[in-house]
A and B are shown apart, each in its own frame.
Chain A
Amino acid sequence: MLAYSLPSDISPSTYVNAASLVRIVALGLISAAAISSRLFAVINFESIIHEFDPWFNYRATKVLASEGFYEFWNWFDPTAWYPLGRVVGGTIYPGLMATSGVIYNLLHALNLPVDIRNICVLLAPGFSALTAWATYMFTKEMKDESAGLLAAAFIGIVPGYISRSVAGSYDNEAIAIFLLMFTFFAWIKALKTGSALFGTVAALFYFYMVAAWGGYAFITNMIPLHAFVLLLMGRYTSRLYVAYCSWYAIGTLSSMQVPFVGFQPVRTSEHMAALGIFGLLQIVAFAQLIRSHVSSKQFQDLLFVSVISAAGLGMAAMVLLTYKGWIAPWTGRFYSLWDTGYAKKYIPIIASVSEHQPTAWPSFFMDLHMLTFLFPFGVLALFRQLRDEHVFVIIYAVMGTYFAGVMVRLMLTLTPCVCVASAVGLSQLIDTFVDPREPDVEQEKEGGDAAPSKQAAKKEKNAAPITGVGAIDDIVSTLSGASSPEKDKSGKTKAGIFGLDTRMVVLFNTAAMLLFFVLHCTWVTSNAYSSPSVVLASTNPDGSQHIIDDFREAYYWLRMNTKEDAVVMSWWDYGYQIAGMADRVTLVDNNTWNNSTRLTAGCAAHIATVGKAMSSPEEIAYPILRKHDVNYVLVIFGGLIGYSGDDINKFLWMVRIAQGVWPDEIQEPNYFTPQGEYRVDDQASKAMRESLMYKMSYYRFAELFGGGQVMDRVRQQQLPKQSPTLDYLDEAFTSENWIVRIYQVKKEDSLGRDLKSANGFAQGKKRKRSKPPVKRRALA
């Protein structure tokens, strides 16, 4: 029985052709949607590189495009981390720049003179289309093409991925998610077919991933974990052996070619799981071989014991090697994944990054919308068949969810999995309700009224997050009964859907949800994720957009008005931007937390030095500034227009980081009031008021208010009417909205006095001690 009639005069080949045409058109449209929704940033603002890290990537790409790959590889940047310098070639993942470089050279070879900036700006949207395709391929392996299309559509517009891949967001993640999905696809394909070719493809894309993003460690551990779980489930096959060994051998060898990675795959704990599983697979394979040739029960037991003991020995060897220092122990960033308070205690540099904070619940909804509740449903749907590849997605879902809860930025790795699982689930739902067959009423034992009640229950469960285990089983059993017709032909159909109306109600609801999803994605993308953060936008009272362009104004001032080798000190957030936009030497930059574990102690001390200079009084900061040849100091101040991401709000991190190195000189409690409040007004603590950061932020601030109430609009506190004074620095530049303030460091006094008394003298102040005591030794 059919709920609605299907045309019967279409030949199978026509159907196949039409379906593939529809798929191609759909994929094309999905790609177009994925690209175009990422262009809000360009349309609302302009074709500009966003945020902080992308500025470095952009600068590096320019070097690559102009100097060639070998110069880029050997690039030593003397303007970063002054005076330590930065061996760029050995401290970056060059995949992103190399990709842009290849595209740039390709287009120029075709006589298309495209500006390198535009390539960089549009790289992320372009790769998002490829991600959609890779997700389609991956999901196709999980279920079928329709699920693949749904997954592609989800990943194309889901805000969790858009947040990292809007036009101008030229960061490693831009290409990494595509590589992640494609590597996983190739792995699944290799596992399913037992093909060394696909294992090699997985390894090659893994290499590309290693070259592109530090998050490659996720693949490095996901695939071994998958293989390990399969082993534990007793699902060892020669296909697994071939796929894993070809991936691991080629992937590891090739990943070691990336200079930044080097020998880490054999020297650090993060990579040991992959090596261990590789060894375990050899042992298991050997045991299997032996077992197929030997039949004795005792011998098989012996074999089993020896396999276990060999694995145990291997583990012990690794632990010993770690203990001996041959294998680097887990890094702090790793620990911070398990203990969310770890970083705050031991590595303030990592904790000071906002995207390393635990994720708040609203952001899950903001980033995933309805996928948040479709996701568990999809995972459950995967349990139904539990093929090897389904195990993969389930593990991925568990790990991804955990990590996304620990760190905001790991939301990104969860998103593809959510899209895939949701697509599988939703596609099964749609399959069930689109399927025109109706259950045979006569064969139904429970009677006709059981099914509709189940449908009603299911509808509710789909609309709201799943609550009870019983209901879940219900859904799973319903689906398993309805959506695999091939199986059902042999067995009995126990449940089903009657009539067109129930189908229409569910499908209409689903369509409405999808529509809301699209609306939500568009809204979030245009409002939340398309701000370049270099240019700020606010709304005028009449609704028109007001652009606040203080950052570029200030960087341009630096570029035009300072010497080319001038050294600019700022907090590390702005290092890449100063290097990229102002082209000046910086003391510290955003590379700090990227690689804090691999930097030398000197570098770690370097950032603390800047923290100390910012949080010390002028006369202590001045020798530090002189020692580092600092010419200008740049601070971000939001108190005038209420820009909350300013340096005073970040100030406590500077204090903490400095305290980590100089616990005797800088103490965090000194910067709070006795009541434990963080204040900047007249109750501010002495250390706070005397700190260089405070003085630079509020220097001459009171003058703006002409004797009226001096108000800091970020902290909503009233400041003293007397602004702080500066003796060792001169105000050089303040941008239109006072967001960026640049100070010039004075030269040493030509008479060898300290600058404070020199200033007092220049202002005509009398010396305090007009008759100094004569310092003479007493006669013996």
Chain B
Amino acid sequence: MFRIWRVLLLVLSLAILSYARSSTGSSVLVVLDPSLSKDNYSIFFKGLEEQGYELTFRAPKDVAPAIIQDGIASFAHVILFTPETKTYAKDITPQSLVDLLSQNTNVILALGSKQTPLTSLASEFSLILPPPGTPLISHFPERDTPATVIPIPVSSSSPALTSGLAPVWYSGIPFALGNNPLLVPFLNAPAESFAADTTEDSGADALVDAAEKGGEGLWAGKDMSVVTGFQTVDGGRVLFVGGVELFNDEFAKKEVTKGVRSGNAQFAREMAAWTFQESLVLRIDDSAHHKVNETEPRDKYTTNDRIVYTTHISKYNPATNAWEPFSGLTDVQLEFTMLDPHIRTALPPVPSKPGEYSVTFRVPDRHGVFKFVVDYKRKGWTHLHSSTTVPVVPPRHDEYPRFLSAAWPYYVGAISTSAGFVLFSVLWLAGDDRDQRKKKGVKAE
């Protein structure tokens, strides 16, 4: 018996291990242009398969398998290595890709220097592409490769990337970034690089002109990005890569300096991990609120109550394929909002309880329908949003103080008047008898 259990457990744990380590699913569709050979990208694809992803390959013009079937995404992740493909099957359009993202499917998209149907997609994500046929060029540092093949040092501070990564070989286009806060730049172009026409040099004059004007209208410098992520409001992630060669085996094996292999393989791996929602994935497990010294939530609170708000945040751990309580966030804030935040306070982690964040505060002296809002948006990380509606009501008729010290003059007045009335009545009734007789006599007359 015991042994069977053990075996089962072992099988189970193996299954978990071999299972995809993404938090959203393991099926990956790779749309590969026929001009690119699958074998040239074996390191990247093998790496994915080793981690448990199930890769399905198709050409852009193939009808099956469709990326969206009956309005539902068929795969958890899509890789589009079609930088220069001009024609696609019906199911791949810029619109359908946006639709995919809204269904929490993740996409890796390799761009090319030619105008393709998917080029229009970039502007929807606030990426500004250079004119067609102008790849990134850099003559520094001096090296034996063509000017379009550039080693780029990884300087991103994003937690998605391991620090100290070797420079990556890059060949492709740069793109300027719009001011969309959902963009997550990972790899910027070197400061000395610029986008230019290499074959005909037709734009050289314009380039010089632009440079003299202070770089306006010029795709140049370190503000250009070559690898940029984008996380949609709904949580879907998409990775734009200016050149598909970044992923290929040749660049992965190529040495940057003598004896130092390029960081391409690991960089590609980590980028895929981010895009496929392995890393930097958070979620709010639950959130609760109650009055101080109580445990159950109320369906409404009274003004000036002291209440405790608690939330539990988990982080996805791809190594164990499990959600683990996560106390590493130090800058979470809680807002108590009615139209505007009436209270905005830090929501610190509770030291003794992993994953728990809690704060105690006093409800404002204002009735209305309030919301506990946790809105945590940091570049690269999953956006955390939680909103709990709770009415705040004025005190009940019997919850006001009974006696007020300020009202003592009125109490004294009321009591003294009552006492005076009783005294007067007693004196009147028990007054002199003869008076009454006199009066009666007068009346009788």
Chain A residues proximal to chain B, CB less than 8 Å: 70, 73-74, 76, 78, 82-85, 87, 89-90, 259, 565, 627-628, 748-753, 761-762, 764, 766-767, 770-779
From B126, B339, B396, contact of A74 by CB (8 A): B396
* Chain B nearest CB, measured from A762 CB (Å): 6
CB <8 Å contact, B219 and A83: no
Query: Which residues of the other chain, B, contact A753 by a CB distance below 8 angstroms?
Result: 124
Chain B residue at smallest Cβ distance from A763? B95
- Does B214 sit within 8 A of A, measured CB to CB? yes
Chain A residue at smallest Cβ distance from B338? A83
Alpha-carbon distance A777/B131, docked complex (angstroms) = 21
From A751, A773, A776, contact of B124 by CB (8 A): A751
* Chain A nearest CB, measured from B413 CB (Å): 14
Given A772-B178, A774-B216, A778-B213, output 10 extra A-B contacts at Cβ < 8 Å: A76-B367, A76-B391, A84-B338, A85-B367, A750-B101, A750-B233, A751-B233, A761-B95, A767-B120, A778-B216
CB <8 Å contact, A778 and B214: yes
Query: Which residues of the other chain, B, contact A73 by a CB distance below 8 angstroms?
Result: 397
CB <8 Å contact, A772 and B128: yes
From A90, A751, A767, A779, contact of B215 by CB (8 A): A779
- Does B94 sit within 8 A of A, measured CB to CB? yes
Query: Which residues of the other chain, A, contact B391 by a CB distance below 8 angstroms?
Result: 76, 78, 85
Chain A residue at smallest Cβ distance from B238? A751
Chain A residue at smallest Cβ distance from B387? A629
From A82, A748, A767, contact of B369 by CB (8 A): A82
Alpha-carbon distance A259/B213, docked complex (angstroms) = 73
Query: Which residues of the other chain, B, contact A750 by a CB distance below 8 angstroms?
Result: 98, 101-102, 232-234, 236
Alpha-carbon distance A84/B94, docked complex (angstroms) = 43
Alpha-carbon distance A89/B123, docked complex (angstroms) = 55
- Does B345 sit within 8 A of A, measured CB to CB? no
From B123, B126, B217, B367, contact of A773 by CB (8 A): B217
Alpha-carbon distance A565/B393, docked complex (angstroms) = 18
- Does B257 sit within 8 A of A, measured CB to CB? no
Query: Which residues of the other chain, B, contact A771 by a CB distance below 8 angstroms?
Result: 128, 131
A776 and B369 in contact, given A76-B394, A87-B394, A761-B94 (Cβ under 8 angstroms): no
CB <8 Å contact, A774 and B233: no
CB <8 Å contact, A85 and B369: yes
Counting chain A CB atoms within 10 Å of each CB, the highest count among B131, B180, B216, B371 belongs to: B216
Chain B residues proximal to chain A, CB less than 8 Å: 94-95, 98, 101-102, 120, 123-126, 128, 131, 176, 178-182, 213-219, 221, 223, 230, 232-234, 236, 300, 338-339, 367-371, 389, 391-394, 396-397
* Chain B nearest CB, measured from A8 CB (Å): 44
Alpha-carbon distance A149/B236, docked complex (angstroms) = 80
CB <8 Å contact, A767 and B123: yes
Query: Which residues of the other chain, A, contact B219 by a CB distance below 8 angstroms?
Result: 774
CB <8 Å contact, A83 and B397: no
Counting chain A CB atoms within 10 Å of each CB, the highest count among B123, B232, B233 belongs to: B123
Query: Which residues of the other chain, A, contact B397 by a CB distance below 8 angstroms?
Result: 70, 73-74, 89, 259
Alpha-carbon distance A313/B101, docked complex (angstroms) = 79
* Chain B nearest CB, measured from A47 CB (Å): 33
* Chain B nearest CB, measured from A255 CB (Å): 17
A772 and B182 in contact, given A76-B394, A83-B339, A779-B214 (Cβ under 8 angstroms): no
Alpha-carbon distance A82/B98, docked complex (angstroms) = 34
* Chain B nearest CB, measured from A599 CB (Å): 13
* Chain A nearest CB, measured from B14 CB (Å): 37
Alpha-carbon distance A456/B394, docked complex (angstroms) = 70
CB <8 Å contact, B389 and A565: yes
Chain A residue at smallest Cβ distance from B233? A750
CB <8 Å contact, A752 and B233: yes
CB <8 Å contact, A752 and B389: no
CB <8 Å contact, B369 and A84: yes
CB <8 Å contact, B393 and A76: yes
CB <8 Å contact, B339 and A627: yes
From A78, A751, A774, A778, contact of B125 by CB (8 A): A751
Chain B residue at smallest Cβ distance from A778? B214
* Chain A nearest CB, measured from B192 CB (Å): 15
Prevailing SS type, chain A contact patch: loop
CB <8 Å contact, B98 and A83: no
20 A-B pairs whose Cβ atoms sit less than 8 Å apart in the complex: A73-B397, A74-B396, A74-B397, A82-B369, A83-B368, A85-B367, A85-B368, A85-B392, A750-B98, A750-B232, A750-B236, A751-B125, A752-B180, A762-B98, A774-B217, A774-B218, A776-B214, A776-B215, A778-B215, A779-B214
From B120, B181, B213, B230, contact of A766 by CB (8 A): B120
Query: Which residues of the other chain, A, contact B396 by a CB distance below 8 angstroms?
Result: 74
Query: Which residues of the other chain, A, contact B181 by a CB distance below 8 angstroms?
Result: 752
* Chain B nearest CB, measured from A535 CB (Å): 32
CB <8 Å contact, A751 and B339: no
A628 and B339 in contact, given A87-B394, A761-B95, A779-B215 (Cβ under 8 angstroms): yes
Alpha-carbon distance A74/B391, docked complex (angstroms) = 13
* Chain B nearest CB, measured from A359 CB (Å): 39
Alpha-carbon distance A85/B367, docked complex (angstroms) = 7
Query: Which residues of the other chain, B, contact A751 by a CB distance below 8 angstroms?
Result: 98, 101, 124-125, 180, 182, 230, 232-233
Query: Which residues of the other chain, B, contact A70 by a CB distance below 8 angstroms?
Result: 397
A761 and B124 in contact, given A85-B391, A779-B214 (Cβ under 8 angstroms): yes
Alpha-carbon distance A774/B177, docked complex (angstroms) = 9
Listed from nearest, the 8 A-B pairs whose CB atoms lie closest are A778-B214, A78-B391, A76-B393, A83-B369, A779-B214, A750-B232, A750-B233, A74-B396
Query: Which residues of the other chain, A, contact B394 by a CB distance below 8 angstroms?
Result: 76, 87, 90
Alpha-carbon distance A73/B399, docked complex (angstroms) = 13
Alpha-carbon distance A771/B175, docked complex (angstroms) = 12
* Chain A nearest CB, measured from B188 CB (Å): 14
Alpha-carbon distance A89/B398, docked complex (angstroms) = 13
Alpha-carbon distance A775/B371, docked complex (angstroms) = 38
Chain A residue at smallest Cβ distance from B98? A751
A770 and B368 in contact, given A78-B391, A83-B339, A751-B182 (Cβ under 8 angstroms): no
CB <8 Å contact, B223 and A776: yes
* Chain A nearest CB, measured from B120 CB (Å): 7
* Chain A nearest CB, measured from B238 CB (Å): 9
Chain A residue at smallest Cβ distance from B212? A779
Query: Which residues of the other chain, A, contact B300 by a CB distance below 8 angstroms?
Result: 76, 78
A762 and B214 in contact, given A83-B370, A751-B125, A753-B124 (Cβ under 8 angstroms): no
Alpha-carbon distance A184/B230, docked complex (angstroms) = 75
CB <8 Å contact, B213 and A78: no
* Chain B nearest CB, measured from A610 CB (Å): 13
Query: Which residues of the other chain, A, contact B179 by a CB distance below 8 angstroms?
Result: 775
Query: Which residues of the other chain, A, contact B338 by a CB distance below 8 angstroms?
Result: 83-84
Alpha-carbon distance A125/B368, docked complex (angstroms) = 37
Chain B residue at smallest Cβ distance from A600? B366
Query: Which residues of the other chain, A, contact B176 by a CB distance below 8 angstroms?
Result: 774-775
Query: Which residues of the other chain, B, contact A775 by a CB distance below 8 angstroms?
Result: 176, 179
From A84, A749, A767, A779, contact of B233 by CB (8 A): A749
Query: Which residues of the other chain, B, contact A762 by a CB distance below 8 angstroms?
Result: 95, 98
* Chain B nearest CB, measured from A566 CB (Å): 12
* Chain B nearest CB, measured from A246 CB (Å): 16
CB <8 Å contact, B368 and A84: yes
Query: Which residues of the other chain, A, contact B102 by a CB distance below 8 angstroms?
Result: 750
Alpha-carbon distance A82/B393, docked complex (angstroms) = 13
Query: Which residues of the other chain, A, contact B126 by a CB distance below 8 angstroms?
Result: 752
Query: Which residues of the other chain, A, contact B180 by a CB distance below 8 angstroms?
Result: 751-752
Query: Which residues of the other chain, A, contact B178 by a CB distance below 8 angstroms?
Result: 772
Query: Which residues of the other chain, B, contact A628 by a CB distance below 8 angstroms?
Result: 339
Chain B residue at smallest Cβ distance from A609? B339
Alpha-carbon distance A777/B221, docked complex (angstroms) = 12
Alpha-carbon distance A771/B339, docked complex (angstroms) = 39
Query: Which residues of the other chain, B, contact A83 by a CB distance below 8 angstroms?
Result: 338-339, 368-371
Query: Which residues of the other chain, A, contact B131 by a CB distance below 8 angstroms?
Result: 771
* Chain A nearest CB, measured from B141 CB (Å): 23
Alpha-carbon distance A673/B384, docked complex (angstroms) = 49
Query: Which residues of the other chain, A, contact B94 by a CB distance below 8 angstroms?
Result: 761
Chain B residue at smallest Cβ distance from A75? B393
Chain A residue at smallest Cβ distance from B115? A770
